[in-house]
Amino acid sequence: MRDSFQREIDYMRVSVTDRCNLRCAYCMPKEGIEKKSHVDILRDEEIVDIIKTAAATGVRKIRLTGGEPLVRKGIFDLIKRIRAVEGIEELVLTTNGILLKGRAKELKAAGIDRVNLSVDSLEEKTYRQIVRQDAHLDVESLIRELKAASLTPIKLNCVLLKGLNDDEIGDFIDLAARHDITVRFIELMPFHHEGFRYETHFLAKDDVLREHPELVFVKKERIAEYYAIEGKKGKIGFIDPVSHKFCSFCNRIRLTADGHLKTCLLSDKEFLVKGLEKVALQKRFEEAIRTKPPEHALEKGRERQKRTMNRIGG
């Protein structure tokens, strides 16, 4: 279905949980989140029914996200059920990778086509400082495992964080070259938290490009710009919703784990879909898509968001 600005909405990001095994400083409060009762979180049947309605309105691609999607109980069964929904052509997953080790083949067999891996540091100490948990990720072996399971092409997403990981950008570029994968640098978006200052840590794409002349512009896609690494394999992407708006190409809607549709990541407007019967659900979808805002207004400044990012799904 097209929205009022003639954008074809064919992509839905589905947050299957707002819980997470990490506490990334820019995403989630250190003490975690208020635990929602299970009755407030969409059940498998509800998620599948909502995805069926989404497919009926023209959604063809689903991305599972969270919180951390792999912490949801029974996630592999849910993946199989979503895979079976008629009209869904692409099913992908965004994960921090912590629970992925040894399970890539199982994930592929359940029906996931590819994985976006979120990794903000390759240094153990910095990684722990950013994720604020005693966690360790063996990125190299995880990439090999994803390749062996044909969960490809792999995209590794890294949020640019001045003063935290800006000294590792060259290492991420080497990683992309060594494994012939795409590393995408994401500009930090202003979802404020106590104790984490957006203004202190924001690093713009143009600052990175100035420091890395080996990156050669190749193409601009819907939300990302891609660069080759001179004389090497691999690709570097930049996602910069803050300095360059891509709202006019936006084809996505979001389903939160507690059953709300969001048609713009940066707007607090939501449409409750949990508990609706088929006809009402279809109507709510159409209303949400029809009223999708033309663009965000980040540059005019914004209020503190009602939801933290782990409760939206990125």
Q: Which residues bind ligand SF4 (CB under 6 A)?
A: 20, 22-24, 27-28, 66-68, 96, 118, 309-310
Does 181 participate in binding ligand SAM (rule CB under 6 A)?
no
Among residues 19 and 52, whose Cβ is nearest to ligand SAM?
19
Residue whose structure tokens are 């939501």: 270
Sheet order of strands, 260-262 included: 215-220, 224-229, 235-239, 182-186, 155-159, 114-118, 90-95, 61-65, 11-15, 252-255, 260-262, 271-272
Return the residue of 27, 51, 79, 276 that touches ligand SAM, per CB under 6 A. 27
What count of residues does the chain have?
Answer: 314
Return the residue of 92, 130, 156, 186 that touches ligand SAM, per CB under 6 A. 186
- Residue 81 is inside which H or E element, if any? helix 75-83
Does 68 participate in binding ligand SAM (rule CB under 6 A)?
yes
Q: Which does 157 bind (CB under 5 to 8 A by kind): ligand SAM, ligand SF4, none?
A: ligand SAM
Nearest to 25 by CA among 314, 313, 310: 310
Smallest distance, ligand SF4 to C-beta of residue 308, A: 8
Among residues 70 and 288, whose Cβ is nearest to ligand SAM?
70
Site track 83-122 with ligand SAM (rule: CB under 6 A), x = hit:
-----------xxx---------------------x----
Q: What is the DSSP string of 109-122?
A: HHT--EEEEE-S-S
Return the residue of 127, 185, 191, 196 that touches ligand SAM, per CB under 6 A. 191
Among residues 23 and 235, whose Cβ is nearest to ligand SAM?
23
Smallest distance, ligand SF4 to C-beta of residue 32, A: 10
Question: Residue 283: which residues within 8 A CB-CB, separation 6 or more?
Answer: none
Q: Which does 28 bind (CB under 5 to 8 A by kind): ligand SF4, ligand SAM, none?
A: ligand SF4
Angle between helix 44-56 and helix 75-83 axes, rounded to 10 deg: 20
Q: 140-155 b/e with 16+ CB inside 10 Å = b?
A: eebbebbbebebeebb
Among residues 24 and 239, whose Cβ is nearest to ligand SF4?
24
Among residues 3 and 68, whose Cβ is nearest to ligand SF4?
68
Smallest distance, ligand SAM to C-beta of residue 239, A: 8
Site track 121-160 with ligand SAM (rule: CB under 6 A), x = hit:
------------------------------------x-x-
- Pairing type for strands 215-220 and 224-229 reads antiparallel
Does 256 participate in binding ligand SAM (rule CB under 6 A)?
no
- Pairing type for strands 252-255 and 155-159 reads unpaired
126, amino acid identity: T
Residue whose structure tokens are 């957006």: 198
Does 17 participate in binding ligand SAM (rule CB under 6 A)?
no
The three-point CA angle 10-223-177 to 5° equals 120
Smallest distance, ligand SF4 to C-beta of residue 129, A: 13
Smallest distance, ligand SAM to C-beta of residue 26, A: 5
Question: Are the C-beta atoms of 57 and 261 separated by less than 8 Å?
Answer: no
Q: How far apart are CA 233 and CA 138, in angstroms?
A: 21
* Residues found near ligand SAM in the complex (CB under 6 A): 20, 26-27, 65-66, 68, 94-96, 118, 157, 159, 186, 188-189, 191, 309-310, 313-314
